[in-house]
């Protein structure tokens, strides 16, 4: 009985020594691992940089260009145009009333490459010149004959139509109306650029010569 008890306690002592040895080995391993990690991080720094640069992506530029014609001012007009043909047996008279709407704006398909230039929080937008967007601005369905006497040909009516066009252009396509359309365009594009994130926005227009060609 004594021998069994001695063997039992001897076994417990052996096991406890093994557990103690394992614990020591585990502690040493952890210390070594931590040392390796600290050594590996030496000379390594972690930095956070802030990029304040804002940029319009090519996709965004194409999306804006795809708008195409952008109207910034619409001017409605009506003109009374008349003509008289003198004949041997009397005069013939034709008086017609023409209604038209002239649309002033820009065509973004005509924007030159690099028309949007950005630098940090600033952007310069160079727009095509404001022009008449539609040459067929007279609503022929609303054209009425106020007075018609005698016989008139289709060519006669076309001459009257062309006179009405010139009169409307002279009355509506004025420097003042072009200036109003340009200011409306500036306001709209400034809002657009501000919404993207730019703080300083400059809107410019390309110049044209007397023939209407861009300089």
For 142-174, write each residue's pLDDT tens digit: 999 988 888 889 999 999 999 999 999 999 999
Instruction: Please give the backbone phi and psi of residue 18, each rounded to the nearest 5 degrees, phi first.
Output: -65, -45
Domain boundaries defined on the chain = 1-48, 58-205
Check whether 7 has a pLDDT greater than 90.
Answer: no
pLDDT digits (tens, 9 = 90+) for 61-99: 889 999 999 999 999 999 999 998 877 777 889 999 999
| Three-state SS sequence of 164-184 | HHHHHHHHHCCHHHHHHHHHH
The count of residues in the chain is 215
| pLDDT tier, 119 (very low <50, low <70, confident <90, very high otherwise) | confident
Q: Which of 137, 62, 79, 60 is nearest to 105 (CA)?
A: 137
Check whether 51 has a pLDDT greater than 60.
Answer: no
| Three-state SS sequence of 85-152 | EEECCEEEEEEEEEEEEEEEEEEHHHCCCCCEEEECCEEEEEECCCEECCCCCECHHHCEEEEECCCC
For residues 173 and 50, give the distance between their C-alpha atoms in angstroms, rounded to a whole number. Answer: 49
For residues 164 and 83, give the distance between their C-alpha atoms in angstroms, rounded to a whole number. Answer: 12
| Tokens describing residue 60 | 């965004």
For residues 148 and 95, the answer to whether their CB atoms sit within 8 Å is yes
In the numeric block, the tokens 């040895």 are attached to: 21
Q: What is the dihedral of CA 125, 126, 131, 136, to 10 degrees?
A: -70
For residues 82 and 175, give the distance between their C-alpha atoms in angstroms, rounded to a whole number. Answer: 27
Least confident of 41-45, 115-119, 200-204: 41-45
User: Residue 151: what pLDDT?
Assistant: 84
User: Residue 54: what pLDDT?
Assistant: 65
What is the arrangement of strands in the sheet containing 122-127, beginning at the earlier edge strand? 116-119, 122-127, 200-205
Torsion 124-112-215-207 (CA) sign: negative
Least confident of 6-15, 112-121, 129-138: 6-15
**Average model confidence (pLDDT) for the chain?**
80
């Amino acid at each position: 009985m004594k021998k069994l008890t001695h063997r039992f306690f001897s076994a417990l002592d052996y096991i406890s020594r093994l557990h103690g040895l394992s614990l020591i080995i585990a502690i040493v391993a952890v210390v070594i691992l931590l040392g390796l990690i600290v050594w590996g991080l030496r000379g390594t720094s972690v930095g956070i940089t802030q990029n304040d640069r804002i940029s319009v992506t090519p996709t965004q530029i194409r999306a804006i260009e795809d708008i195409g014609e952008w109207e910034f001012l619409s001017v409605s007009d009506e003109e009374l145009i008349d003509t008289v043909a003198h004949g041997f047996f009397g005069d013939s008279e034709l008086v017609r009333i023409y209604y038209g709407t002239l649309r002033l704006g820009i065509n973004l398909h005509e924007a030159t490459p690099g028309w949007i230039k950005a630098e940090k929080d600033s952007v310069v937008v160079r727009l095509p010149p404001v022009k008449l967007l539609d040459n067929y601005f007279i609503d022929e369905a609303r054209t009425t004959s106020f007075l018609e006497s005698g016989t008139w040909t289709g060519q006669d009516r076309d001459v009257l139509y062309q006179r009405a066009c010139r009169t409307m252009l002279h009355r509506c396509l004025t420097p003042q109306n072009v200036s109003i359309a340009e200011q409306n365009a500036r306001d709209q594009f400034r809002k657009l650029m501000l919404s993207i994130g730019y703080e300083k926005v400059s809107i410019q227009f390309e110049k044209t010569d007397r023939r209407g060609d861009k300089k």
